[in-house]
Amino acid sequence: MIRKIDHIAIAVRDLAAALRFWEETLGLKATGTEVVEEQKVRVAFLPVGESKIELLEPTDPEGPVGKFLARSGEGVHHIALRVDDVSAELARLKGLGVRLIDEEPRRGAGGARIAFIHPKATLGVLLELCQRDEGGLE
């Protein structure tokens, strides 16, 4: 079951510069930054109502976000949908023959369980499924 838009992720070259815009110009407040080694990114979340903006700065140009920046420049990288059970949703989509990037859930920022659906299957948008356990980081 899909509940809401958990976050919209934006790839940036300079996280500090991006935070100056989102915090000082727009008036949002980041909840802190975190490095996700596996994804080779430094991440900051800025809550906006029930959803969040996720800023992604590569820590390695050879990582997925580093390659995205080289190919497409800064901009929207993915949209994340909050689901109750990411494993169940993956199994359901697999059963429908949907092309997935992640066959199994993995760890995302904030301890979430996440999985990506291939943009070829979604008409051009990289979609993330995101499950956050009760009591976990919102």
Which residues bind to Co ion, rule: CB under 5 A? 9, 54, 80, 128
Q: Which is nearer to Co ion, 6 or 84 (CB)?
A: 6
State in angstroms the smallest separation of the CB of 6 from Co ion: 8
State in angstroms the smallest separation of the CB of 80 from Co ion: 5
State in angstroms the smallest separation of the CB of 93 from Co ion: 17
Q: Which is nearer to Co ion, 97 or 118 (CB)?
A: 118
State in angstroms the smallest separation of the CB of 108 from Co ion: 6
Q: Give Cα 15 distance to the centre of its chain.
A: 15
Q: Which is nearer to Co ion, 13 or 107 (CB)?
A: 107
Q: Which is nearer to Co ion, 18 or 80 (CB)?
A: 80
